[in-house]
Amino acid sequence: MSLDAAQLRARTREFLAAHPPASTSREDFLSARFDAGLAWVHYPEGLGGLDAPRALQAVVEAELTAAGAPDNNPRRNGIGLGMAAPTVLRYGTDDQKQRFLKPLWVGEEIWCQLFSEPGAGSDLAALGTRAVRDGDTWVVNGQKVWTSNAHNARFAILVTRTDPDVPKHKGMTYFVCDMTDPGVEVRPLRQITGEAEFNEVFLSDVRIPDAHRLGEVGDGWRVAQTTLNNERVSIGGMRVPREGGLVGIVAKTWRERPELRTHDLHQRLVKLWVEAEVARLASERLRQQLVAGHPGPEGAGMKLGFARLNQEISGLEVELLGEEGLLYDDWTLRRPEIVDFAGREAGYRYLRAKGNSIEGGTSEILLNIVAERVLGLPSEPRTDKDVAWKDLAR
């Protein structure tokens, strides 16, 4: 029988009594929390969950937060938690789930995503990184790009081309790649912010065991859709309080710096504040829908709104601050683990927000997804749909 809120609250309190946060090391506490099924309650028992409704996770988090319990620093391993874990849960073998999910959730192993390529960014299905089977292993060669946190990652979710003789969507296979294996080279990509949170990754004769394949051979596109749908929700559907995120930062400046105010900026701030609140409520509604199943194309709409709002709000902030808004102190090449919008200058926020309409799927591609899969509009003509990948123009 599924647990209700009262039972889960009682279970969480019993756990806290047995593992007091003040006297339990962070590592031991997180490990025990996973084993108790309080990591993500909607996951199966033995895999960090209790087969409980997803919505009840909030009950657990409230009790743990009130007790001062440590979290697993989710921003540090956002790709692992938001994208890799749901994919492993849905397509992984029992051995894969046991091997990967706990160290991923606890934060012992960071994950990255090897999807985009120099010639296959928005059109992911056109990717050309080749995986050729050699007995019980696959030999992988190719290049990936825009890989967030590859410099810190132990594992990567990787999509490859295993059959070039069939149409592009049918010849892909999905793997877990060990980033410490021979042949994996990570190079930093310096951004307009001066940082290098993104990377390009070169794969040269990397041998991946078939035991690290997720899903069937040739079924990588379907597996990747699970990853991408979860990615858009994790980026665009993050839970924030009212007046949270960038709009809260700008509103705070507006209240504290009356000398900066103009009528025009006030009208724009009010408009963006309302739009941010609408997006927040829509995000809450989307998460409620997720309780009943897997994320769908609606997440693309949330990601679209997130990118547009971040860019417009950060632009408004720079205008509000005037010359002060152009200041940005730190142009040194840094290799950050997380993107810190709140703790940086307005100039940084403005520059970094430009990436929001590219990462996690470009806004142009997401508009197509919303048009076709949410609104039911006719799809764009695709002349390459039934052409073998090897015969495509490149």
Q: What is the CA radius of gyration of the chain?
A: 22
Whether residue 231 lies in the annotated active site = yes
Paired sense of beta strands 111-114 and 155-161, if any: parallel
**Angstrom distance (rounded) from CA 3 to CA 6:** 8
Sort residue 333 into left (φ over 0), alpha (ψ -120 to 50) or beta: beta
Among candidate residues 231, 298, 312, 317, the one labeled active-site is: 231
What residue type is 269 in one-letter code?
L
Maximal CA-CA distance, the chain: 71
Active site members: 231
